[in-house]
Amino acid sequence: MKISYSVLVGIMAIFVFAAVALTLALYAFLKIQGAHECIYYCPETDNIICAFHTEVNMNNNEGGMNFTSLCHRDMYNCQNPKHSYKFDVKGPCNNSVED
């Protein structure tokens, strides 16, 4: 079966559109649900510790969805976490690197 060039381009365009739409939907969901992005810097080891933290509260209760995704080389390698620098990008985050 031979597929014409225009059909192939059309199929690829649909996939690109779907990927962009899904990315925008995920971004909007995290933005609506109060996503916070915190980047921590550990001066002792020159480590950058970044955390994407999202909390969703259902009906003003304490429960709901709570996930934290950490990216770092060694979270506990920082000798003095309380003296780490914090760059608050999207909202309030705790000063601790262990949230």
Q: What is the pLDDT along the chain (99 residues), one digit of tens a residue?
A: 677 888 889 999 999 999 999 888 877 766 555 444 445 555 554 555 544 444 443 444 444 443 333 433 334 444 444 444 444 334 444 444 443
> What are the Cα distances from residue 63, in Å, to 58, 60, 93?
7, 8, 18
Q: Where are the alpha helices (DSSP H) in 1-99?
A: 5-32
The CA distance from 10 to 40, in Å, is: 44
Altogether, the residues listed in the chain come to a count of: 99
The neighbour count for residue 49, using CB atoms within 10 Å, is: 23
Q: Which among 26, 89, 88, 93 has a CA at the least distance from the CA of 55? A: 93
Whether the predicted model's global pTM rises above the 0.85 cut: no
